[in-house]
Structure 1
Amino acid sequence: MDLALLRTFLTVHRAGSFTRAAALLGLSQPAVTSQIRTLERQLGRPLFVRRARGVIPTTIGDELAHRAAPHLDALVEIAEAGLDEESGVRTLHLAGPPEFLSARVLPALTPLVAQGLALRLSLLPNAGETLDGLAAGHHDLAVATARPRGGLLTATPLCDEEHVLVAGPRMAARIGPDLLRRKSGLVLEQLPVVEVHESLPFVSRYWATVFEAKPAAAATVIAPDLRAVLECAASGAGLAVLPRYLCEEALERGRLVALTDPPMPPLRTYFLVVRTGTLALPHIARAHEWLLRAAVDW
């Protein structure tokens, strides 16, 4: 059996689409369709059922994928290991939220850079865009705040981040802890808000979890980078909801004040995501393992 046909089959099985598999393989869609039909003729069984949106494997297709995937991934690992030794330097294309990559991921990967790993970053605040780019082969490894669906991508929980409702010291002093305890979210509705988007993703999640309500206020400042949101809040532009890892130093220095201390603060999970099977590649596997070890202390 032709290994190229099996490779195309496995890519289609993981992608769930001839079109997406063609993009990953660098082939035309007709070429992928032709290869799958050739393999089906050789086996005498259909491997996929065509649907309006992609394909789903038959039971024979699932069985073949289960049996073939470990061996094909092992061959890729052998081939890439040889290439790794010849080139000396491998490039990892990494994507994820700008702030998290800057504050957490890049410092953690610095030792691998010293060992010969080259990094190319795509700073993407939107999780959907990040996962789409990974699925299309634009990235090797991604950090996302959403767990992908389907078999094309494999996600591993990396860490949780706690969200904190903060304001600059002058604004916090103006509210006062007593008033805040008595009226909670009602007081905060009267204050200006700094956010990353008009939909108030961070503030809305916080309000739903802590106050069991929707925020009534509109954002006064929209800054599509949490580091800019932090600086605006610290300067007194309005209250904000920030990840604790990002604002911890500002809280310790008194540049920001935590307005509430809920028993169950909102949490958001980060996932480390790869295309299924690519952890057979040594440079991706090293970065993946390194980040999981580092995240224990995050």
Structure 2
Amino acid sequence: MLKDNFNDLLSFMVVARERSFTRAAAQLGVSQSALSHAMRHLEARLGMRLLTRTTRSVAPTEAGEQLFTRLSPHLLEIEQELAALRDMRDTPAGNIRITAGEHAMSAILWPVLKPFMATYPDIHVEVTVDNGLTDIVDGRFDAGVRLGEQIAKDMIAVRIAPDMRMAVVGSPDYFSRYGVPETPEQLQHHRCINMRLPTRGGLYAWEFEKDGRELRVRVEGQLTLNNLPQRIDAAVAGLGLAYVPDDTVEAALAEGQLVRVLEAWCPPFDGYHLYYPGRRQHTAAFTLLLEALRAG
């Protein structure tokens, strides 16, 4: 009975967290029918409904939500103890889940991960690339990589990259046709390549600063693209002006494919940090990756 309860409770926790039998079954390595059968048996033993099911979704009932909230800290403790046991192995091993933005992944995280994975073959790393402000606790990530200004105050943040700058760029052909903006305000009269914020759904306002004066300019244009390489490619093609990290266009600037403008309005700012909850006990695998990123 104890074994059945524990297995079914663990399955319930995954279903309640994922709000999906499909995703939960994939994580647990069982069929959806077996998982649904286990949930019905658990509810029958407890004498109450824990999940509300429809044809499209599943969600905890009030009793289910209460059970999920109470069990979560205990399951986290069990996971941490198991991770601590794994750390006693001679060879570092374990699983690490990280969320990072597109530019952070390509510029900072991936160059470190490639040699790190080769050095530690028993450490498994999962990276989710997401430009939104992901809740790493709710998403069960071990850590995230974001700019310092985007990190919540209750997180521990470790700097893993130098200061960075943004750049407004366009092709020589674009500037020959439409002229060169002299101030950020003049961008409102130009064709700009927008980016939609995944967290709030709105278009990103380009940010500028000069001599203590800060400006946020909402631009317009024919294109809205969330993918960074495509925004750069669109600028090279003369489809508009792009606002991108300057390290991503160094080659295009050197080759004359792009021209930079408003440079005086784009000062350096704090670069990327690895951040994580302070209360969480970290594994040896996580500590090794953190050290590798800091050495970067």
| 1:163 and 2:166 are equivalent in the alignment | yes
Structure 1 residue 242, shift from structure 2 partner: 0.6
Alignment partner, residue 60 of structure 1: none
Residue 194 of structure 2 contacts residue 225 of structure 2 at CA under 8 Å; is this kept in 1?
yes
Query: Residue 208 of structure 2 contacts residue 215 of structure 2 at CA under 8 Å; is this kept in 1?
Result: no
Asked if the contact 2:209–2:267 (Cα under 8 Å) also holds between the matched residues in 1, the reply is no
Instruction: Please give the per-residue CA displacement for 1:123-158, whole angstroms capped at 9, x wherever unaligned.
Output: 11112xx2x1x21252222102311233xx322233
Residue 118 of structure 1 aligns with an amino acid whose one-letter code is: H
The whole-number CA distance in structure 1 between the counterparts of 2:238 and 2:294 is 37
Measured at CA, do residues 209 and 173 of structure 1 come closer, stay the same or move farther in structure 2, by a change above 3 Å?
farther
Deviations 1:171-209 (A, max 9, x none): 234455xx644xx33543221110211744252x13799
Q: Which structure shows the higher helix fraction?
A: 1
Cα distance in structure 2, aligned partners of 1:76 and 1:97: 30
93-102 or 267-276: bigger deviation:
267-276
What is the DSSP-based 3-state SS (H/G/I as helix, E as strand, rest coil) of the residue aligned with 1:135? coil
Q: 1:97-176 counterparts in 2 under 5 A? A: 97-115=101-119, 116=121, 117-127=123-133, 130=134, 132=135, 134-136=136-138, 138-145=140-147, 146-150=150-154, 153-159=155-161, 160-174=163-177
2:96 counterpart residue number: 92
SS in 2 for 1:195: coil
Change (3 A) 1:28 1:285: farther
Distance, in Å, in 1 between the alignment partners of 2:288 and 2:112 is 12
Unaligned stretches of 5+ residues in structure 1: 1-18, 37-71
Are the structure 2 counterparts of residues 93 and 217 from structure 1 closer, same or farther at C-alpha, using a change threshold of 3 Å?
Answer: closer
Q: Distance in 2 between matches of 1:196 and 1:270?
A: 20
**Aligned-partner Cα distance in 2 for 1:76–1:288:** 20
Deviation at 1:168, TM superposition (A): 1.3
Distance in 1, matches of 2:221 and 2:211, equals 19
- CA–CA distance in 1 between the matches of 2:287 and 2:72? 30
Deviation at 1:77, TM superposition (A): 7.2
* 1:246 maps to 2:245: no
Whether the 8 Å CA contact 2:170–2:238 is kept in 1: the answer is yes
Post-superposition offset of 1:229: 1.0
Residues of 2 paired with 1:106 and 1:195: CA distance? Answer: 26
> What amino acid is the match of 1:141?
A
Q: CA deviation at 1:108?
A: 1.3
2:220 to 218, 221, 234: 218
Tell me how far 1:119 sits from its aligned partner.
2.1
Verify: 1:81 aligned to 2:87, yes or no: yes
- 1 CA distance for matches of 2:269 and 2:283? 32
Structure 1 residue 258, shift from structure 2 partner: 0.5
Contact 1:196–1:226, Cα closer than 8 Å, also in 2: no
Deviation at 1:224, TM superposition (A): 1.0
SS at match of 2:208: helix
What amino acid does structure 2 have at the position aligned with 1:289? E
What do you get for the CA RMSD once the two structures are aligned? 3.7
For residue 236 of structure 1, report the CA deviation from its aligned partner: 0.8
Contact 2:167 2:266 in 1 (8 A): no
State the match for 1:260 in structure 2: 262
The percent identity for this pair of structures is 18
